[in-house]
Structure 1
Amino acid sequence: MSNGSYMRELIKNKVLYLMTLPGLLLILLFSYLPMGGLIIAFKDYRFDKGVFGSAWSGLQNFEFFFSSQDALRVTFNTLYMNALFIVTGTVMSILCALLVIELKNKIGKKIIQTTLLLPYFISWVVVGYFVFALLNNQIGVVNQLLTRIGVGSIDWYSSPHYWPVILVLVSIWKNTGYSAIIYLAAIIGINEEYYEAARIDGANRFQEVMKITLPLIAPIISILTLIAIGKIFYADFGLFYNVPRNIGVLYSTTDVIDTYVFRALRNTGDIGMSSAVAFYQSTVGFVLVLFSNYIVRKINPENSLF
Protein backbone atom coordinates (compact mmCIF):
# COMPACT_ATOMS: atom_id res chain seq x y z
CA MET A 1 0.00 0.00 0.00
CA SER A 2 1.42 3.38 -1.07
CA ASN A 3 1.75 6.46 1.14
CA GLY A 4 -1.19 8.03 -0.66
CA SER A 5 -3.35 5.00 0.11
CA TYR A 6 -2.33 5.17 3.76
CA MET A 7 -3.33 8.83 3.94
CA ARG A 8 -6.70 8.20 2.27
CA GLU A 9 -7.35 5.35 4.69
CA LEU A 10 -6.40 7.58 7.62
CA ILE A 11 -8.65 10.44 6.48
CA LYS A 12 -11.53 8.09 5.72
CA ASN A 13 -11.48 6.47 9.16
CA LYS A 14 -10.12 9.40 11.17
CA VAL A 15 -12.90 9.15 13.76
CA LEU A 16 -12.15 5.49 14.41
CA TYR A 17 -8.42 6.17 14.72
CA LEU A 18 -9.10 9.02 17.15
CA MET A 19 -11.18 6.65 19.27
CA THR A 20 -8.16 4.34 19.60
CA LEU A 21 -5.87 7.10 20.88
CA PRO A 22 -6.80 6.83 24.61
CA GLY A 23 -6.14 3.09 24.57
CA LEU A 24 -2.88 3.51 22.68
CA LEU A 25 -1.71 6.20 25.12
CA LEU A 26 -2.50 3.95 28.08
CA ILE A 27 -0.55 1.10 26.52
CA LEU A 28 2.37 3.43 25.77
CA LEU A 29 2.46 4.93 29.27
CA PHE A 30 1.87 1.80 31.33
CA SER A 31 3.22 -1.02 29.13
CA TYR A 32 6.00 0.23 26.85
CA LEU A 33 7.65 3.15 28.68
CA PRO A 34 8.07 1.15 31.95
CA MET A 35 10.02 -1.49 30.00
CA GLY A 36 13.04 0.77 30.34
CA GLY A 37 12.95 0.02 34.05
CA LEU A 38 13.93 -3.60 33.37
CA ILE A 39 17.52 -2.41 33.54
CA ILE A 40 17.08 -2.40 37.34
CA ALA A 41 16.96 -6.20 37.22
CA PHE A 42 20.65 -6.20 36.30
CA LYS A 43 21.75 -3.55 38.78
CA ASP A 44 22.47 -3.27 42.49
CA TYR A 45 19.90 -0.52 42.80
CA ARG A 46 20.43 2.21 45.38
CA PHE A 47 18.01 5.04 45.96
CA ASP A 48 20.74 7.62 46.48
CA LYS A 49 22.43 6.80 43.14
CA GLY A 50 19.34 6.25 41.02
CA VAL A 51 18.84 3.87 38.12
CA PHE A 52 21.78 4.93 35.99
CA GLY A 53 24.17 5.59 38.85
CA SER A 54 23.73 2.21 40.53
CA ALA A 55 26.38 -0.42 39.90
CA TRP A 56 25.81 -3.33 37.55
CA SER A 57 25.22 -6.64 39.30
CA GLY A 58 24.82 -8.97 36.33
CA LEU A 59 22.59 -11.93 37.13
CA GLN A 60 22.92 -11.69 40.92
CA ASN A 61 19.34 -10.56 41.36
CA PHE A 62 18.12 -13.61 39.45
CA GLU A 63 20.38 -15.88 41.49
CA PHE A 64 18.93 -14.45 44.70
CA PHE A 65 15.45 -15.59 43.69
CA PHE A 66 16.23 -18.91 42.01
CA SER A 67 18.62 -20.04 44.73
CA SER A 68 16.03 -19.53 47.46
CA GLN A 69 14.14 -22.56 48.72
CA ASP A 70 10.83 -20.84 47.97
CA ALA A 71 11.37 -20.30 44.23
CA LEU A 72 10.14 -23.73 43.13
CA ARG A 73 7.14 -23.61 45.47
CA VAL A 74 5.86 -20.19 44.44
CA THR A 75 6.46 -20.94 40.75
CA PHE A 76 4.50 -24.20 40.97
CA ASN A 77 1.66 -22.53 42.90
CA THR A 78 1.46 -19.74 40.34
CA LEU A 79 1.31 -22.09 37.36
CA TYR A 80 -0.99 -24.61 39.03
CA MET A 81 -3.54 -22.10 40.31
CA ASN A 82 -3.60 -20.06 37.10
CA ALA A 83 -4.09 -23.24 35.07
CA LEU A 84 -7.07 -24.09 37.28
CA PHE A 85 -8.43 -20.56 36.83
CA ILE A 86 -8.09 -20.75 33.04
CA VAL A 87 -9.85 -24.11 32.73
CA THR A 88 -12.63 -23.56 35.26
CA GLY A 89 -13.12 -19.91 34.34
CA THR A 90 -13.47 -20.66 30.63
CA VAL A 91 -15.91 -23.51 31.18
CA MET A 92 -18.08 -21.57 33.63
CA SER A 93 -18.07 -18.41 31.49
CA ILE A 94 -19.20 -20.30 28.40
CA LEU A 95 -21.81 -22.18 30.41
CA CYS A 96 -23.20 -18.96 31.89
CA ALA A 97 -23.33 -17.33 28.45
CA LEU A 98 -25.20 -20.34 27.03
CA LEU A 99 -27.70 -20.31 29.91
CA VAL A 100 -28.31 -16.56 29.67
CA ILE A 101 -28.86 -16.71 25.91
CA GLU A 102 -31.61 -19.29 26.49
CA LEU A 103 -33.64 -16.91 28.64
CA LYS A 104 -36.62 -15.48 26.81
CA ASN A 105 -37.74 -12.96 29.43
CA LYS A 106 -35.82 -9.75 28.70
CA ILE A 107 -36.23 -8.32 32.21
CA GLY A 108 -35.09 -11.58 33.79
CA LYS A 109 -32.13 -11.74 31.43
CA LYS A 110 -31.00 -8.23 32.39
CA ILE A 111 -31.35 -8.99 36.10
CA ILE A 112 -29.28 -12.16 35.80
CA GLN A 113 -26.61 -10.42 33.68
CA THR A 114 -26.33 -7.62 36.26
CA THR A 115 -26.16 -10.15 39.10
CA LEU A 116 -23.38 -12.09 37.35
CA LEU A 117 -21.39 -8.95 36.55
CA LEU A 118 -21.71 -7.20 39.93
CA PRO A 119 -19.03 -9.26 41.80
CA TYR A 120 -16.42 -8.19 39.22
CA PHE A 121 -16.57 -4.61 40.52
CA ILE A 122 -16.17 -5.53 44.19
CA SER A 123 -12.72 -4.89 45.64
CA TRP A 124 -10.63 -7.92 46.63
CA VAL A 125 -10.32 -6.39 50.09
CA VAL A 126 -14.09 -6.54 50.49
CA VAL A 127 -14.18 -10.06 49.01
CA GLY A 128 -11.55 -11.11 51.55
CA TYR A 129 -13.85 -10.00 54.37
CA PHE A 130 -16.79 -11.83 52.75
CA VAL A 131 -14.78 -15.05 52.67
CA PHE A 132 -13.62 -14.51 56.25
CA ALA A 133 -17.24 -14.08 57.36
CA LEU A 134 -18.04 -17.42 55.73
CA LEU A 135 -15.00 -19.39 56.90
CA ASN A 136 -14.18 -17.90 60.29
CA ASN A 137 -13.55 -20.75 62.73
CA GLN A 138 -15.77 -19.36 65.48
CA ILE A 139 -18.60 -17.39 63.88
CA GLY A 140 -18.28 -18.33 60.21
CA VAL A 141 -21.51 -19.23 58.39
CA VAL A 142 -20.01 -22.36 56.82
CA ASN A 143 -18.80 -23.77 60.14
CA GLN A 144 -22.17 -23.08 61.76
CA LEU A 145 -23.88 -25.08 59.02
CA LEU A 146 -21.33 -27.90 59.31
CA THR A 147 -21.87 -28.03 63.07
CA ARG A 148 -25.66 -28.22 62.68
CA ILE A 149 -25.45 -31.19 60.31
CA GLY A 150 -23.04 -32.97 62.63
CA VAL A 151 -19.84 -32.65 60.59
CA GLY A 152 -18.09 -30.29 62.98
CA SER A 153 -16.27 -27.04 62.34
CA ILE A 154 -13.10 -26.84 60.24
CA ASP A 155 -10.23 -24.48 60.92
CA TRP A 156 -10.02 -23.28 57.30
CA TYR A 157 -7.25 -20.78 57.97
CA SER A 158 -4.98 -23.50 59.33
CA SER A 159 -5.65 -26.07 56.59
CA PRO A 160 -3.70 -25.28 53.39
CA HIS A 161 -5.07 -28.23 51.39
CA TYR A 162 -8.56 -26.68 51.20
CA TRP A 163 -7.41 -23.41 49.69
CA PRO A 164 -6.88 -24.31 46.02
CA VAL A 165 -10.58 -25.20 45.86
CA ILE A 166 -11.61 -22.12 47.87
CA LEU A 167 -9.59 -19.78 45.66
CA VAL A 168 -10.98 -21.34 42.48
CA LEU A 169 -14.55 -20.92 43.74
CA VAL A 170 -13.92 -17.29 44.74
CA SER A 171 -12.28 -16.55 41.36
CA ILE A 172 -15.22 -18.10 39.49
CA TRP A 173 -17.72 -16.12 41.56
CA LYS A 174 -15.95 -12.82 40.93
CA ASN A 175 -14.77 -13.11 37.32
CA THR A 176 -17.22 -15.39 35.51
CA GLY A 177 -19.79 -12.68 34.83
CA TYR A 178 -17.29 -10.41 33.11
CA SER A 179 -15.91 -13.16 30.85
CA ALA A 180 -19.42 -14.45 30.12
CA ILE A 181 -20.34 -11.09 28.56
CA ILE A 182 -17.62 -11.56 25.93
CA TYR A 183 -18.87 -15.02 25.02
CA LEU A 184 -22.46 -13.81 25.13
CA ALA A 185 -21.63 -11.10 22.58
CA ALA A 186 -19.95 -13.70 20.34
CA ILE A 187 -23.00 -15.99 20.53
CA ILE A 188 -25.41 -13.16 19.75
CA GLY A 189 -23.36 -12.41 16.63
CA ILE A 190 -23.98 -15.88 15.17
CA ASN A 191 -26.33 -15.83 12.20
CA GLU A 192 -29.74 -17.22 13.21
CA GLU A 193 -30.01 -18.99 9.84
CA TYR A 194 -27.56 -21.65 11.06
CA TYR A 195 -29.91 -22.60 13.89
CA GLU A 196 -32.97 -22.53 11.62
CA ALA A 197 -31.29 -24.91 9.20
CA ALA A 198 -30.31 -27.20 12.09
CA ARG A 199 -33.88 -27.27 13.42
CA ILE A 200 -35.18 -28.18 9.97
CA ASP A 201 -32.76 -31.12 10.00
CA GLY A 202 -34.15 -32.21 13.37
CA ALA A 203 -31.33 -31.07 15.65
CA ASN A 204 -32.17 -30.52 19.32
CA ARG A 205 -30.85 -27.62 21.41
CA PHE A 206 -27.86 -29.57 22.74
CA GLN A 207 -26.83 -30.55 19.21
CA GLU A 208 -27.14 -26.91 18.10
CA VAL A 209 -24.78 -25.87 20.87
CA MET A 210 -22.24 -28.61 20.12
CA LYS A 211 -22.34 -28.35 16.33
CA ILE A 212 -22.95 -24.63 15.77
CA THR A 213 -22.42 -22.42 18.82
CA LEU A 214 -19.17 -23.83 20.20
CA PRO A 215 -17.41 -24.23 16.81
CA LEU A 216 -18.33 -20.67 15.79
CA ILE A 217 -17.12 -19.10 19.04
CA ALA A 218 -13.98 -21.27 19.06
CA PRO A 219 -11.79 -18.38 17.74
CA ILE A 220 -12.89 -16.18 20.69
CA ILE A 221 -12.24 -19.01 23.14
CA SER A 222 -8.82 -19.57 21.60
CA ILE A 223 -7.83 -15.88 21.70
CA LEU A 224 -8.95 -15.38 25.30
CA THR A 225 -7.18 -18.58 26.35
CA LEU A 226 -3.96 -17.50 24.66
CA ILE A 227 -4.12 -14.13 26.39
CA ALA A 228 -4.70 -15.90 29.72
CA ILE A 229 -1.72 -18.21 29.07
CA GLY A 230 0.41 -15.12 28.49
CA LYS A 231 -0.44 -14.04 32.04
CA ILE A 232 -0.10 -17.49 33.59
CA PHE A 233 3.03 -16.40 35.48
CA TYR A 234 1.17 -13.40 36.88
CA ALA A 235 -1.11 -14.24 39.78
CA ASP A 236 -3.99 -12.01 40.84
CA PHE A 237 -2.30 -10.31 43.78
CA GLY A 238 -5.56 -9.13 45.32
CA LEU A 239 -6.98 -12.65 45.33
CA PHE A 240 -3.91 -14.39 46.76
CA TYR A 241 -3.09 -11.71 49.32
CA ASN A 242 -6.46 -10.60 50.66
CA VAL A 243 -8.56 -13.76 50.57
CA PRO A 244 -6.10 -16.05 52.48
CA ARG A 245 -5.30 -12.99 54.63
CA ASN A 246 -1.52 -13.43 54.19
CA ILE A 247 -1.44 -16.19 56.81
CA GLY A 248 1.92 -17.96 56.88
CA VAL A 249 0.57 -21.45 57.52
CA LEU A 250 -1.27 -21.28 54.16
CA TYR A 251 1.81 -20.33 52.12
CA SER A 252 2.35 -23.90 50.91
CA THR A 253 -0.70 -23.62 48.62
CA THR A 254 -1.49 -19.87 48.45
CA ASP A 255 1.92 -18.23 48.13
CA VAL A 256 2.59 -17.22 44.51
CA ILE A 257 5.31 -15.21 42.79
CA ASP A 258 3.53 -11.88 43.20
CA THR A 259 2.87 -12.24 46.93
CA TYR A 260 6.38 -13.60 47.52
CA VAL A 261 7.98 -10.64 45.75
CA PHE A 262 5.75 -8.19 47.62
CA ARG A 263 6.82 -9.59 50.98
CA ALA A 264 10.47 -9.69 49.91
CA LEU A 265 10.31 -6.07 48.76
CA ARG A 266 8.54 -5.00 51.95
CA ASN A 267 10.97 -6.83 54.22
CA THR A 268 14.29 -6.25 52.41
CA GLY A 269 13.60 -3.28 50.11
CA ASP A 270 15.47 -5.12 47.33
CA ILE A 271 14.03 -3.50 44.20
CA GLY A 272 16.59 -5.26 41.98
CA MET A 273 15.34 -8.71 42.93
CA SER A 274 11.72 -7.65 42.43
CA SER A 275 12.54 -6.32 38.96
CA ALA A 276 14.39 -9.55 38.14
CA VAL A 277 11.35 -11.64 39.02
CA ALA A 278 9.10 -9.34 36.97
CA PHE A 279 11.49 -9.76 34.02
CA TYR A 280 11.36 -13.53 34.53
CA GLN A 281 7.54 -13.49 34.57
CA SER A 282 7.30 -11.38 31.41
CA THR A 283 9.83 -13.44 29.46
CA VAL A 284 8.27 -16.79 30.29
CA GLY A 285 4.78 -15.45 29.59
CA PHE A 286 5.91 -14.15 26.20
CA VAL A 287 7.45 -17.50 25.31
CA LEU A 288 4.32 -19.36 26.41
CA VAL A 289 2.11 -17.16 24.21
CA LEU A 290 4.34 -17.79 21.19
CA PHE A 291 4.44 -21.53 21.84
CA SER A 292 0.69 -21.84 22.50
CA ASN A 293 -0.15 -19.77 19.43
CA TYR A 294 2.18 -21.96 17.37
CA ILE A 295 0.33 -25.09 18.53
CA VAL A 296 -3.07 -23.54 17.82
CA ARG A 297 -1.92 -22.36 14.38
CA LYS A 298 -0.80 -25.89 13.53
CA ILE A 299 -4.16 -27.33 14.56
CA ASN A 300 -6.40 -24.60 13.14
CA PRO A 301 -4.83 -21.39 11.71
CA GLU A 302 -8.15 -19.52 11.88
CA ASN A 303 -8.21 -19.78 15.68
CA SER A 304 -4.68 -18.49 16.24
CA LEU A 305 -3.94 -15.08 17.71
CA PHE A 306 -1.45 -14.15 14.97
Structure 2
Amino acid sequence: MLFLMMVPGLAYLLINNYLPMFGVIIAFKDINYTVGILESEWVGFKNFEFLFQNSSAWIITRNTILYNLAFIIINTVLAIGVAILLNEVKHRFFSRFYQGVLLVPFLISMVIVAYITLAFLDVENGYINFNLQMFGLEPISWYYESKYWPYILPIVNMWKSVGYGTVLFLAAIIGVDDEYYEAAILDGANKWQQIKHITIPLIMPTITIITILNIGRIFYSDFGLFYQVPLNSGPLQPTTDVIDTFVYRGLMTLGDIGMSSAAGLYQSIVGFILVLVTNYIVRKKDKDQALF
Protein backbone atom coordinates (compact mmCIF):
# COMPACT_ATOMS: atom_id res chain seq x y z
CA MET A 1 0.00 0.00 0.00
CA LEU A 2 2.87 2.36 0.73
CA PHE A 3 4.30 1.82 -2.76
CA LEU A 4 0.85 2.48 -4.26
CA MET A 5 0.67 5.74 -2.32
CA MET A 6 3.97 6.76 -3.95
CA VAL A 7 2.57 6.36 -7.48
CA PRO A 8 0.90 9.84 -7.80
CA GLY A 9 4.04 11.62 -6.57
CA LEU A 10 6.34 9.58 -8.78
CA ALA A 11 4.06 10.13 -11.79
CA TYR A 12 4.14 13.89 -11.20
CA LEU A 13 7.93 13.79 -10.84
CA LEU A 14 8.29 11.82 -14.07
CA ILE A 15 5.93 14.02 -16.11
CA ASN A 16 7.05 17.36 -14.71
CA ASN A 17 10.78 16.83 -14.16
CA TYR A 18 12.08 14.00 -16.34
CA LEU A 19 10.06 13.89 -19.57
CA PRO A 20 10.84 17.57 -20.37
CA MET A 21 14.56 16.71 -20.27
CA PHE A 22 14.08 15.45 -23.80
CA GLY A 23 14.11 19.14 -24.73
CA VAL A 24 17.84 19.30 -23.97
CA ILE A 25 18.37 18.20 -27.56
CA ILE A 26 17.09 21.61 -28.71
CA ALA A 27 20.33 23.21 -27.45
CA PHE A 28 22.28 21.27 -30.10
CA LYS A 29 19.97 21.84 -33.08
CA ASP A 30 18.99 24.58 -35.48
CA ILE A 31 15.25 24.31 -34.93
CA ASN A 32 13.12 24.27 -38.07
CA TYR A 33 9.46 24.31 -37.13
CA THR A 34 8.36 22.87 -40.45
CA VAL A 35 10.20 19.56 -39.89
CA GLY A 36 10.09 19.38 -36.08
CA ILE A 37 12.71 18.91 -33.38
CA LEU A 38 13.99 15.47 -34.35
CA GLU A 39 14.42 16.30 -38.05
CA SER A 40 16.02 19.71 -37.49
CA GLU A 41 19.69 20.11 -38.38
CA TRP A 42 22.23 19.09 -35.73
CA VAL A 43 24.64 22.00 -35.14
CA GLY A 44 26.56 20.70 -32.11
CA PHE A 45 27.89 23.49 -29.86
CA LYS A 46 27.18 26.30 -32.30
CA ASN A 47 24.28 27.58 -30.19
CA PHE A 48 26.65 28.07 -27.27
CA GLU A 49 28.85 30.41 -29.29
CA PHE A 50 26.30 33.20 -29.03
CA LEU A 51 26.67 33.18 -25.26
CA PHE A 52 30.45 32.77 -24.98
CA GLN A 53 31.74 34.73 -27.99
CA ASN A 54 29.56 37.79 -27.50
CA SER A 55 31.39 40.93 -26.33
CA SER A 56 29.01 41.18 -23.34
CA ALA A 57 29.72 37.62 -22.11
CA TRP A 58 32.13 38.75 -19.39
CA ILE A 59 29.84 41.55 -18.19
CA ILE A 60 26.70 39.42 -17.86
CA THR A 61 28.62 36.57 -16.20
CA ARG A 62 30.26 38.96 -13.73
CA ASN A 63 26.96 40.66 -12.91
CA THR A 64 25.13 37.36 -12.48
CA ILE A 65 27.70 35.88 -10.08
CA LEU A 66 28.41 39.00 -8.01
CA TYR A 67 24.76 39.97 -7.59
CA ASN A 68 23.77 36.46 -6.53
CA LEU A 69 26.68 36.22 -4.09
CA ALA A 70 25.62 39.53 -2.57
CA PHE A 71 22.00 38.36 -2.39
CA ILE A 72 22.96 35.09 -0.68
CA ILE A 73 25.13 36.77 1.96
CA ILE A 74 22.90 39.78 2.68
CA ASN A 75 19.58 37.93 2.68
CA THR A 76 20.86 35.01 4.76
CA VAL A 77 22.45 37.22 7.42
CA LEU A 78 19.42 39.52 7.68
CA ALA A 79 16.91 36.66 7.68
CA ILE A 80 18.78 34.87 10.48
CA GLY A 81 19.07 38.10 12.45
CA VAL A 82 15.38 38.94 12.15
CA ALA A 83 14.38 35.35 12.96
CA ILE A 84 16.49 35.42 16.14
CA LEU A 85 15.04 38.80 17.07
CA LEU A 86 11.47 37.59 16.62
CA ASN A 87 12.23 34.47 18.65
CA GLU A 88 13.70 36.53 21.48
CA VAL A 89 10.71 38.86 21.46
CA LYS A 90 8.46 35.82 21.64
CA HIS A 91 10.33 34.49 24.66
CA ARG A 92 10.11 37.79 26.46
CA PHE A 93 6.64 39.07 25.66
CA PHE A 94 4.52 36.73 23.56
CA SER A 95 3.24 33.22 23.28
CA ARG A 96 3.96 31.27 20.09
CA PHE A 97 0.52 32.17 18.79
CA TYR A 98 1.37 35.85 18.76
CA GLN A 99 4.72 35.21 17.12
CA GLY A 100 2.96 34.68 13.80
CA VAL A 101 0.98 37.88 14.37
CA LEU A 102 4.24 39.71 15.03
CA LEU A 103 5.73 38.33 11.81
CA VAL A 104 2.85 39.77 9.77
CA PRO A 105 3.43 43.35 11.03
CA PHE A 106 7.12 42.87 10.27
CA LEU A 107 6.35 41.97 6.65
CA ILE A 108 3.96 44.91 6.40
CA SER A 109 6.62 47.22 7.82
CA MET A 110 9.04 45.99 5.11
CA VAL A 111 6.56 47.16 2.47
CA ILE A 112 6.21 50.53 4.19
CA VAL A 113 9.99 50.93 4.38
CA ALA A 114 10.24 50.15 0.67
CA TYR A 115 7.74 52.84 -0.23
CA ILE A 116 9.46 55.35 2.05
CA THR A 117 12.80 54.53 0.39
CA LEU A 118 11.30 55.06 -3.04
CA ALA A 119 9.87 58.40 -1.86
CA PHE A 120 13.28 59.50 -0.60
CA LEU A 121 14.96 58.58 -3.89
CA ASP A 122 12.34 60.00 -6.23
CA VAL A 123 14.18 62.00 -8.88
CA GLU A 124 11.81 64.97 -9.01
CA ASN A 125 10.08 65.12 -5.64
CA GLY A 126 12.24 62.92 -3.41
CA TYR A 127 13.34 64.23 -0.02
CA ILE A 128 17.07 63.97 -0.83
CA ASN A 129 16.89 65.75 -4.18
CA PHE A 130 14.53 68.36 -2.74
CA ASN A 131 17.13 69.32 -0.14
CA LEU A 132 19.95 69.25 -2.67
CA GLN A 133 18.09 71.74 -4.85
CA MET A 134 17.42 73.97 -1.86
CA PHE A 135 21.19 74.36 -1.49
CA GLY A 136 21.61 75.00 -5.21
CA LEU A 137 23.01 71.54 -5.99
CA GLU A 138 22.09 69.35 -8.91
CA PRO A 139 19.57 66.57 -8.16
CA ILE A 140 20.78 62.99 -8.39
CA SER A 141 19.22 60.81 -11.07
CA TRP A 142 19.11 57.66 -8.99
CA TYR A 143 17.22 55.55 -11.50
CA TYR A 144 18.89 56.82 -14.68
CA GLU A 145 22.56 56.32 -13.89
CA SER A 146 24.03 52.82 -13.94
CA LYS A 147 26.47 53.43 -11.05
CA TYR A 148 23.67 53.48 -8.48
CA TRP A 149 22.05 50.19 -9.48
CA PRO A 150 24.53 47.85 -7.76
CA TYR A 151 23.04 49.32 -4.55
CA ILE A 152 19.42 49.63 -5.65
CA LEU A 153 19.02 46.01 -6.81
CA PRO A 154 20.29 44.39 -3.57
CA ILE A 155 17.95 46.65 -1.57
CA VAL A 156 14.95 45.66 -3.70
CA ASN A 157 15.91 41.99 -3.53
CA MET A 158 16.40 42.21 0.22
CA TRP A 159 12.94 43.70 0.64
CA LYS A 160 11.48 40.88 -1.44
CA SER A 161 13.37 37.93 0.04
CA VAL A 162 14.21 38.55 3.70
CA GLY A 163 10.64 37.91 4.89
CA TYR A 164 10.53 34.46 3.30
CA GLY A 165 13.96 33.56 4.65
CA THR A 166 12.92 34.74 8.10
CA VAL A 167 10.01 32.29 8.10
CA LEU A 168 12.34 29.39 7.24
CA PHE A 169 14.92 30.19 9.91
CA LEU A 170 12.28 31.03 12.49
CA ALA A 171 10.76 27.59 11.97
CA ALA A 172 14.19 26.05 12.57
CA ILE A 173 14.76 28.12 15.71
CA ILE A 174 11.37 27.19 17.15
CA GLY A 175 12.39 23.55 16.84
CA VAL A 176 15.28 24.07 19.27
CA ASP A 177 14.47 22.57 22.66
CA ASP A 178 14.11 25.22 25.39
CA GLU A 179 16.05 22.97 27.78
CA TYR A 180 19.28 23.99 26.03
CA TYR A 181 18.65 27.63 26.89
CA GLU A 182 17.60 26.81 30.45
CA ALA A 183 20.83 24.88 31.01
CA ALA A 184 22.85 27.73 29.51
CA ILE A 185 21.17 30.25 31.82
CA LEU A 186 22.01 28.08 34.83
CA ASP A 187 25.64 28.06 33.66
CA GLY A 188 25.60 31.87 33.54
CA ALA A 189 25.49 32.34 29.74
CA ASN A 190 24.23 35.72 28.57
CA LYS A 191 21.91 36.19 25.61
CA TRP A 192 24.68 36.66 23.05
CA GLN A 193 26.45 33.50 24.27
CA GLN A 194 23.18 31.56 23.98
CA ILE A 195 22.73 32.72 20.40
CA LYS A 196 26.38 32.03 19.51
CA HIS A 197 26.71 28.61 21.13
CA ILE A 198 23.16 27.23 20.93
CA THR A 199 20.93 28.92 18.36
CA ILE A 200 23.41 29.30 15.49
CA PRO A 201 24.99 25.81 15.78
CA LEU A 202 21.61 24.06 16.04
CA ILE A 203 20.16 25.80 12.98
CA MET A 204 23.40 25.45 11.01
CA PRO A 205 22.09 22.42 9.03
CA THR A 206 19.20 24.56 7.79
CA ILE A 207 21.55 27.43 6.95
CA THR A 208 23.88 25.05 5.10
CA ILE A 209 21.13 23.40 3.03
CA ILE A 210 19.58 26.72 2.01
CA THR A 211 23.01 28.14 1.12
CA ILE A 212 23.93 25.10 -1.00
CA LEU A 213 20.63 25.31 -2.88
CA ASN A 214 21.13 29.04 -3.46
CA ILE A 215 24.67 28.46 -4.73
CA GLY A 216 23.24 25.91 -7.16
CA ARG A 217 21.20 28.71 -8.72
CA ILE A 218 23.99 31.27 -8.72
CA PHE A 219 23.98 31.37 -12.56
CA TYR A 220 20.24 32.05 -12.57
CA SER A 221 18.71 35.43 -11.82
CA ASP A 222 15.40 36.85 -10.72
CA PHE A 223 14.16 37.84 -14.18
CA GLY A 224 11.50 40.19 -12.85
CA LEU A 225 14.04 42.00 -10.69
CA PHE A 226 16.64 42.50 -13.42
CA TYR A 227 14.27 43.13 -16.32
CA GLN A 228 11.18 44.82 -14.91
CA VAL A 229 12.75 47.01 -12.22
CA PRO A 230 15.34 48.69 -14.53
CA LEU A 231 12.67 48.60 -17.30
CA ASN A 232 15.20 47.09 -19.73
CA SER A 233 16.93 50.44 -20.00
CA GLY A 234 19.92 50.40 -22.34
CA PRO A 235 22.11 52.87 -20.38
CA LEU A 236 21.71 50.73 -17.24
CA GLN A 237 22.71 47.43 -18.84
CA PRO A 238 26.41 47.54 -17.84
CA THR A 239 25.31 47.08 -14.20
CA THR A 240 21.86 45.44 -14.57
CA ASP A 241 22.29 42.98 -17.43
CA VAL A 242 22.56 39.31 -16.42
CA ILE A 243 22.48 36.01 -18.31
CA ASP A 244 18.69 35.65 -18.15
CA THR A 245 17.93 39.15 -19.47
CA PHE A 246 20.61 38.86 -22.13
CA VAL A 247 19.19 35.56 -23.39
CA TYR A 248 15.64 36.91 -23.30
CA ARG A 249 16.54 39.90 -25.45
CA GLY A 250 18.39 37.60 -27.83
CA LEU A 251 15.34 35.33 -28.07
CA MET A 252 13.00 38.25 -28.70
CA THR A 253 15.34 39.80 -31.28
CA LEU A 254 16.57 36.70 -33.13
CA GLY A 255 13.82 34.22 -32.29
CA ASP A 256 16.54 31.58 -31.85
CA ILE A 257 15.12 29.00 -29.45
CA GLY A 258 18.25 26.84 -29.81
CA MET A 259 20.44 29.61 -28.40
CA SER A 260 18.04 30.14 -25.51
CA SER A 261 18.01 26.41 -24.72
CA ALA A 262 21.81 26.30 -24.84
CA ALA A 263 22.01 29.09 -22.24
CA GLY A 264 19.52 27.29 -20.01
CA LEU A 265 21.49 24.03 -20.27
CA TYR A 266 24.72 25.85 -19.48
CA GLN A 267 23.16 27.40 -16.36
CA SER A 268 21.80 24.03 -15.21
CA ILE A 269 25.08 22.16 -15.66
CA VAL A 270 27.13 24.82 -13.88
CA GLY A 271 24.59 24.98 -11.07
CA PHE A 272 24.65 21.19 -10.70
CA ILE A 273 28.45 21.18 -10.53
CA LEU A 274 28.44 23.98 -7.94
CA VAL A 275 25.99 22.05 -5.75
CA LEU A 276 28.21 18.96 -5.90
CA VAL A 277 31.39 20.91 -5.13
CA THR A 278 29.82 22.92 -2.30
CA ASN A 279 28.25 19.83 -0.79
CA TYR A 280 31.60 18.00 -1.03
CA ILE A 281 33.36 20.82 0.82
CA VAL A 282 30.70 20.87 3.53
CA ARG A 283 30.79 17.07 3.81
CA LYS A 284 34.59 17.10 4.25
CA LYS A 285 34.17 19.51 7.15
CA ASP A 286 31.05 18.00 8.74
CA LYS A 287 29.17 15.22 6.96
CA ASP A 288 26.14 15.65 9.23
CA GLN A 289 25.49 19.09 7.75
CA ALA A 290 25.88 18.07 4.10
CA LEU A 291 22.88 17.95 1.78
CA PHE A 292 23.70 14.36 0.76
Q: CA distance change for structure 1 residues 129 and 261 in 2, over 3 Å: closer, same or farther?
A: farther
TM-score, normalised with respect to structure 2: 0.89
| Aligned residue among 25, 28, 51 for 1:39 | 25
The residue correspondences of 1:97-176 to structure 2 (distance < 5 A) are 97-103=83-89, 104-106=93-95, 109-117=99-107, 135-140=121-126, 143-144=129-130, 147=133, 152-176=138-162
Q: Distance in 1 between the 2:168 and 2:246 partners?
A: 32
Deviations, residues 113-160 of structure 1 (Å, cap 9, x unaligned): 11444699x9xxxxx999876644223455346556887521122321
| Aligned residue among 207, 210, 222 for 1:224 | 210
Structure 1 position 49, deviation (Å): 2.1
Q: Do the aligned partners of 1:74 and 1:256 also contact (CA within 8 Å) in 2?
A: yes
- Asked if 1:59 is matched to 2:50, the reply is no
Write the letter of the residue equivalent to 1:254.
T
Q: CA distance change for structure 1 residues 71 and 192 in 2, over 3 Å: closer, same or farther?
A: same
RMSD: 2.7
Which SS does the other structure have where 2:31 is aligned? strand
Q: CA distance change for structure 1 residues 179 and 10 in 2, over 3 Å: closer, same or farther?
A: same
Q: Do the aligned partners of 1:92 and 1:176 also contact (CA within 8 Å) in 2?
A: yes
| Equivalent position of 1:88 in the other structure | 74
Which SS does the other structure have where 1:197 is aligned? helix
- Asked if 1:179 is matched to 2:168, the reply is no
Q: Distance in 1 between the 2:260 and 2:117 partners?
A: 29
Query: Number of aligned pairs?
Result: 286
TM-score, normalised with respect to structure 1: 0.85
| Equivalent position of 2:237 in the other structure | 251
| Equivalent position of 1:282 in the other structure | 268
Q: Do the aligned partners of 1:157 and 1:247 also contact (CA within 8 Å) in 2?
A: no
Write the letter of the residue equivalent to 1:31.
N
Q: CA distance change for structure 1 residues 141 and 52 in 2, over 3 Å: closer, same or farther?
A: farther
Q: CA distance change for structure 1 residues 26 and 168 in 2, over 3 Å: closer, same or farther?
A: farther
Which runs of 5 or more structure 2 residues have no equivalent in the other structure? Answer: none
Q: Distance in 2 between the 1:151 and 1:169 partners?
A: 26
Q: CA distance change for structure 1 residues 53 and 305 in 2, over 3 Å: closer, same or farther?
A: same
Q: CA distance change for structure 1 residues 267 and 131 in 2, over 3 Å: closer, same or farther?
A: farther
Q: CA distance change for structure 1 residues 150 and 166 in 2, over 3 Å: closer, same or farther?
A: farther
Deviations, residues 2-47 of structure 1 (Å, cap 9, x unaligned): xxxxx6x658xx5xx58xx46x555444432221111110001122
